[in-house]
Amino acid sequence: MASEYGTPPGGRAGPPGSPGWRDALTADVRGTDVARATRALLAFTYDEPEREATEELLSECLDPAGSAVDPQVRALAVTCVGHVARIHGEVGPDLVARVRGLLQDPVLGGRAEDALDDVASFAPHALEPKRGTD
């Protein structure tokens, strides 16, 4: 996804996946400009090569204690979980559990169901219960 986050004037952000790029997008996601935050969250989801880094940011956006996150950004974060499944073919169990916890949410429940449908389509093993190791 080509975005304003590639290499801004001065080259401070850097290429996708670089620390400067991650920092710039994360700051925007946490910021108060909703349009900028949603663009940054999508750019991070589509362009970050490390799935775990994307999941960490999405999890932060979905954290119920993170009430400072705008509701639109939070809703997009739910949708982005499905994108992670499609792009990476994997979603971590903690993020799956967090999305499952939103199924009864009156605002996010439908999005959570859609995201879990995407996980079922693109990373079905992520929905399997964890088995203990003996």
* Per-domain residue ranges of the chain: 50-127
pLDDT at position 129, please? 78
pLDDT at position 8, please? 44
127 and 117 Cβ atoms separated by less than 8 Å? no
**Amino acid letter at 16?**
P
Tokens of 34: 């909703």
For the residues of 45-113, what is the DSSP string, one character each?
HHH-S-HHHHHHHHHHHH-TT-TTS-HHHHHHHHHHHHHHHHHHS---HHHHHHHHTTTT-TTTHHHHH
pLDDT at position 2, please? 41
The length of the chain, given as a count of residues: 134
pLDDT in tens, 31-70: 999 999 999 999 999 999 999 999 999 999 999 886 678 9
Q: Which residues of the chain have pLDDT under 70?
A: 1-12, 66-67, 130-134
